[in-house]
Structure 1
Amino acid sequence: MMGNLKLQSLFLQLAFAFCVFISSLSFGDAGITSTFIRSEWPSIDIPLDHEVFAVPQGYNAPQQVHITQGDYEGKAVIISWVTHDEPEPNSVQYGTSDGSYEFTAEGVVTNYTFYKYKSGYIHHCLIADLKYDTKYYYKIGSGDSAREFWFRSPPKVDPDASYKFGIIGDLGQTFNSLSTLNHYMKSGAQTVLFLGDISYADRYQFNDVGLRWDTWGRFAEQSTAYQPWIWSAGNHEIEYMPYMGEVEPFKSYIHRYLTPYLASKSSSPLWYAIRRASAHIIVLSAYSPFVKYTPQWHWIHEEFERVDREKTPWLIVLMHVPIYNSNEAHFEEGDSMRSVFESLFVKYRVDVVFAGHVHAYERSYRISSVHNNVSGDHHIVPDKSAPVYITVGDGGNQEGLAGRFKDPQPEYSAFREPSYGHSTLEIKNRTHALYHWNRNDDGKKVATDAFVLRNQYWARNRRRRKLKKHIQMVIDEEMAS
C-alpha cells in the first residue's frame, strides 16, 4: 500500500513538472492592439535648407561620415565619407588619445553616376587590429577642412559580454525621422541594427535621387560617425528605374554603404554575418534570390553551422520583410521567405528576428508554422524553439504610418501599434536581455512595449537542467523513504 502511495506521489510530481513545461508553450497573455493615436507630424522630407543637411565648412571637407563593423569578430571598422571637390586626402588618422593620432590608414576611392547625377568621391577605409572595449579618436581631412570624431570598439567576443543595440528601420529624412534619431541617440545604445530602407531617395526622380542620398548621409552623420550601423538593404535601396536608364539594382547603396561580407564567406554584400560582444548577427536579403540552391541559401546553411552558442549565445537575424505581420500593409508578403528560412530559425533556436518594411510596430510570441509550412493564421502555433518576431519599420519616412491592422488581432501577436519610434535590446548576460520599444509621442520618447528576452540556448538549457535535477531529487527522496 505504501509503495503505491509513493508511486502515486511520484506520478503527481512528474505530472506537475510536465504541466509547467507545457504551459511555457502557450501564447501567453492576450495580445494588445494599442489605441494610442498621435498627432502626426507631416510625412514630408525635411527642406533642403534645414541645418541637419548643412555641408561642412572648408574646401573639400569630408561629409556623410559613417562607420560599420569591418570584420567578423569586431576588431575592425570601415570608416566611409564623401568629398566633393577632390579625391584626396584619402586616409584616416586615429589613436586612443584625443587630438593625438598615432596611426594612419589608407582608404579606397570610388564614385558612380545615376542618370545625370555624379556622386562625390566616396572613400572607404578599413581600420583593423583594434583593441577591444577601447575608445578611438579619428580625423579625416587636413587643414581647416579636417574633421574629428570618435568611436568605441566592442568588448571581446564572450558569452557574458553585456552590450546594448539600437534597432531602427525605414528611417527616411522627415521631421519624424529626426525625432526618431534624436531619441535613439539618448538611449545609450552602442550600435544600430538597421533594418533597411535608408534614405527613400527613390521616391524622387532624375538628379534628385542622388541628391537625397547626400542629404541623408549628412542628416544621419550625428550618429553614424560615432558608432557602427550594421546595414541591411530594403526595397527602397533597389532603385530599378528603367525610365531613367538605371537598371542596376542597389547601385547607390552598394557604392555608399559597405558591409564586411567577405569576412563571413558571403558572396554578396547584401547578406552577411558578424559577431559582436555576445551576439551572432545574421543579415539576410529579401530582394536577392534565396530559394533552394541559390548562393544565399547555401550561405545561410553554412553560417548557421558556424554559430557557436558557447561563445556568442545570442543569435539575432535581421531582414527587411517580416515573415509574421498582422498589418494590412504588406500582409503575407514574407510568406515565401517564411517557407525557406523559418525551419532554420527553429532548428538553430534563433532568439529574435527583427524586420522593417511595415511602417508600424509589432511583436509576436514565440510561434511557428514549420509543421504545416503553409500560409494562414490558423496554422501558426506556439513553439518554444522559435524566435520572437519583431517589426520595427517605424523610423519616420515620408510614406507615413501603416495604421490598419487585421481585426481581430491574431493570437500570435503580442503587441502592435502604428506609431513612429525605435527599439533597444540590452544584453545583460548569456541568459537574459532587456528589450524596449520607444514611441515618439509627439516629440517625446515614451517606453511603450518592454519584456525580458530569455536566451534560447542558455536559459532554456538552464531550465532543463533545473527541472531534471528537481525530478531526480523527487525520485531519490521517494526511493529513500
Structure 2
Amino acid sequence: MSKVSALWNLHFQLLFLALVLLCSLDGVFSRSTSSFVRSGFSSVDIPLDNKVFAVPKGYNAPQQVHITQGDYDGKAVIISWVTSEEPGSSKVFYGDIKGTYDKSAEGKTTNYTYYKYRSGYIHHCVVDGLEYEKKYYYKIGTGDSSREFWFQTPPKIGPDVPYIFGIIGDLGQTYNSLSTFKHYLQSGAQSVLYLGDLSYADRYEHMDGERWDSWGRLVERSAAYQPWIWSTGNHEIEYAPHLGEFSTFKQYLHRYTTPYMASKSSSPLWYAIRRGPAHIIVLSSYSPFVKYTPQWLWLRDELKQVDREKTPWLIITMHVPLYNSNSAHYMEGESMRAVFESWFVQYKVDLVFAGHVHAYERSYRISNINYNITSGSRYPVPDKSAPVYLTVGDGGNQEGMAGSYLDPQPDYSAFREASYGHSTLELKNRTHAFYRWNRNDDGEQTPVDHVVFHNQYWANNRRRRRLRKHHASLDNMRYIQTY
C-alpha cells in the first residue's frame, strides 16, 4: 500500500470514529428537521363499501376480531369479537394443533346504544393457562359461520429474550391509514403498542358506531393474530351531551378491554403488563393524574414493582406527548410532565411513546425536573437518567398531517419529520435495542430514523461491563447513532 493510500485510509478511519462519537452524544450535534415533503394519498376516509371493510360471509359470523394480553405476564389473552344479528356463542375453542381444538373457554357478551346507534353483540373471552412461546389456534362462532385464527404467546419473562414491538398511533381509516397498516404487516413485529385515537368515529356524529365497526374490520388482519396493547386518546372520549351522551369512553370501553385488574389498577384506561424483556406501563392522558388521584396512586405503586433484573426495558405509553416541538398540541402534556417526569427519571424509564401530534419526533435524553418559576431554571437539560421521548402520532387519520414545527428546533429535539408512518422497537437483550421509524413515502415504506438504544438500568450497572464481551457480536451494527 502506498503512503498516500495509507494516509487516506487513516483519515477515513479517524473521520468515521469521530462521527460515531459525535452521534453517540445526547447533545445538539445531530439535531435535524427533515425537509421531506409528503405528496401521497389524501387524508380522506375510505368509503364504507370498500373491500377492506368487508363483512365476513355467513349468518352472524364473528367480525372485528382482536386480541390483547390477558394477564400481567403474557400467559393469557383476551379474545374479542362482534356478532351482528344475535348474541350467539361466546365460547372460544383452542389448541396447539391446527384444526384440533381440545380446550375451550367461556366468555361474556355485552352491547350498548350510543345516540341512535345500537351496537352488535360484543364478546370478550379470557383464555389463560397458556404456555410461553407456543402457537395456538382458535375458533369462534358456530357452524358454517365459524372462523379460525391463531396467535403466538411471548417468550418467558427474562432479561435477554429478544422481542419486537410495533408502535402505531392515531391510525384512523383513510388511504394513508391503510398504507401505514399494510407496511406494519410486513414489519415482523410480534405485538403492537397502540398510542390512542383509534377509529376517529367521533367525526361522524350521526353514524359514529358504523365507523367503529369498519375500523374493527380494517385492523382485524393483524389484531386477530397478535396482541394490540391499547391506550386511549381524545377521540375515544366521546362526551356528547347534545346527543344525550354524558359518559366518557363509552364505545371504547365496551369494545376494547384490557387486563387492568392484573396490575391492581382501578380502571381499564391505565394498567401495566410484562412481556418478554419489557415492563410496559400504559397511562391515560385524559383521566385525572394529579397527586392522590387513583392513576397517580397506582403509578406510584406500579413503578415500585418493576424488576429490572427480569424486565430490564421500562417503557411507558400515553397519548399526549410530554415533549413536543410541533405547533400542533404544543405544551399540552405539560401538566402531566410536571407530575410524573421526576418519577420517570428516578426509575430510569427507557422510552416514552406518545401520539396525538400527527407527525414524528424523537428527543434526546433530557429532563426539566429542576424547573422553578422563581429560579429561572425553565429549560430542559441533558439528563442521562431520563427517557427518550418519541411521538408516533402519524398513522394517517382524516385530520391530516401536522406540518408546522417550531423554528428554531429546540435543543431537546433530535429528529423530526412531518410524515405518516410507524415504528418498530427490537429489544435484543438487556443492554441494547434497535429502533426504527418507517416513513410511508408516497405509498412505499422508507426507513428514515434508526437508533441503537442503551438500556437505562444496565447501562449504569457494573455488571454491564462484564456483559460487553458476551454481546460484542450484535448484528445489524449498521446502526450508528446510540443513546
Q: Could you say what secondary structure the match of 2:456 adopts?
A: coil
TM-score w.r.t. length of structure 1: 0.90
CA contact (8 A) 1:30 1:411 kept: no
CA deviation string 1:308-362 (max 9, x = no partner): 0000000000010000000000000100000001000000000000000000000
| Separation (CA, whole Å) in 2 of partners of 1:200 and 1:325 | 22
The answer to whether 1:460 aligns with 2:460 is: yes
Are 1:61 and 1:145, in contact at CA under 8 Å, matched by a contact in 2? Answer: yes
Matched with 1:395 is 395
Question: What corresponds to 2:250 in structure 1?
Answer: 251
Q: Is the 8 A contact 1:430 1:455 kept in 2?
A: yes
Amino acid in the other structure paired with 1:384? K
SS in 2 for 1:406: coil
Any stretches of 5+ residues in structure 1 without a counterpart? 1-20, 467-481
SS in 1 for 2:365: strand
- Residue in structure 2 matched with residue 50 of structure 1 by the alignment: 50
Q: Which residue of 2 aligns with 1:212?
A: 211
Say if 2:323 is the partner of 1:362: no
- Identify the residue that residue 146 of structure 1 maps to in structure 2: 146
Partners of 2:373 and 2:453 in 1: CA distance:
28
Partner of 2:272, secondary structure, is strand
Q: Does 1:277 align with 2:252?
A: no
Structure 2 residue identity aligned to 1:310: E
Structure 2 distance, partners of 1:302, 1:24, is 34
2:348, 2:103 → 1: CA distance? Answer: 42
- Superposed CA deviations along residues 122-173 of structure 1, whole A, max 9, x for unmatched, are 0000000100000000011121101110000000000111100000000000
Q: What amino acid is aligned across from residue 382 of structure 1 in structure 2?
A: P
Given that residues 25 and 382 in structure 1 are in contact (C-alpha distance below 8 angstroms), is that contact kept between their aligned partners in structure 2? no
Question: Hey, what does 1:380 align to over in structure 2?
Answer: 380
Q: Tell me what 2:198 maps to.
A: 198
2:5: which partner in 1? none
Query: Which residue is equivalent to 1:15?
Result: none
TM-superposed CA distance for 1:29, in Å, is 2.2
The aligned amino acid for 2:181 is L
Contact 2:370 2:377 in 1 (8 A): no
- Is contact 1:339-1:373 (8 Å) kept? no
Matched with 2:332 is: 333
Return the alpha-carbon distance in structure 1 between the equivalents of residues 255 and 373 of structure 2: 38
The equivalent residue for 1:444 is: 444
Deviations 1:3-58 (A, max 9, x none): xxxxxxxxxxxxxxxxxx9x987425231100001213111110011001111000
Structure 1 position 374, deviation (Å): 6.2
**What CA distance in whole angstroms lies between the structure 2 residues aligned with 1:102 and 1:425?**
35
In structure 1, C-alpha distance between the alignment counterparts of 2:269 and 2:183, rounded to whole Å:
28
Amino acid at match of 1:188: G
Asked whether the equivalents of residues 315 and 351 of structure 2 are also in contact (C-alpha less than 8 Å), the reply is: yes
Q: Is 1:350 matched up with 2:352?
A: no
Structure 1, residues 235-273: CA drift from partner, whole Å, max 9, x if none? 000001111111110000000000000000000000000
Cα offsets for 1:393-448 (capped at 9, x unmatched): 00000000000000000111000000000000000000000000000001110000
Q: Give 1:120-139 correspondences, 5 Å limit.
A: 120-139=120-139
| Counterpart contact for 2:69–2:78, Cα < 8 Å | yes
Q: Is the 8 A contact 1:25 1:384 kept in 2?
A: no
Q: What residue in structure 2 maps to residue 72 of structure 1?
A: 72
Range moving further from structure 2, 27-36 or 55-64: 27-36
| Kept after mapping to 1: 8 A contact 2:364/2:412 | yes
The residue number in structure 2 matching 1:304 is 303
User: What is the rounded CA distance, in whole Å, between the counterparts of 1:420 and 1:464 in structure 2?
Assistant: 37
After TM superposition, give the deviation of residue 205 of structure 1 in Å: 1.1
What 5-or-longer segments of structure 2 have no aligned partner? 1-20, 467-483
Structure 2 counterparts to residues 412-423 of structure 1, below 5 A: 412-423=412-423
- State the secondary structure of the residue aligned to 1:29: coil
Structure 1 match to 2:111: 111
> C-alpha deviations, 1:443-478, integer Å up to 9, x for none?
110000000010001122148857xxxxxxxxxxxx
Percent identity for Structure 1 against Structure 2 = 70
Higher helix share goes to which structure? Answer: 1
Q: 1:319 and 1:103 mapped to 2: Cα distance?
A: 36
Larger Rg: 1
**CA–CA separation in structure 1 for the residues paired with 2:393 and 2:86:** 37
User: For residues 389 and 245 of structure 2, what CA distance do their matches in structure 1 show?
Assistant: 35
CA RMSD after TM alignment? 1.8
1:426-445 equivalences under 5 Å are: 426-445=426-445
- Following TM superposition, by how much is the alpha carbon of 1:200 offset from its aligned partner in structure 2, in angstroms? 0.2
Greater Cα offset, 36-45 or 328-337: 36-45
Structure 1 Cα separation of the partners of residues 372 and 416 of structure 2:
24
Query: For 1:461 and 1:65, how far apart are their aligned partners in 2?
Result: 43
Letter matched to residue 341 of structure 2? E
Whether contact under 8 Å (1:432, 1:459) holds in the other structure is no
Contact 2:431 2:464 in 1 (8 A): no
CA contact (8 A) 1:174 1:396 kept: yes
TM-score by length of 2: 0.90
| 1:404 aligns to 2:404 (yes or no) | yes
The match for 1:14 is none
Counterparts of 2:167 and 2:382 in 1: how far apart (Å)?
Answer: 25
Question: 2:80 aligned with 1:83, yes or no?
Answer: no
AA matched with 1:298: L
Seen in structure 2, the aligned counterparts of structure 1 residues 377 and 86 have a Cα distance that, compared at 3 Å, is: farther
Aligned-pair distance for 1:89?
1.3
C-alpha contact (below 8 Å) 1:25/1:383 kept by paired residues: no
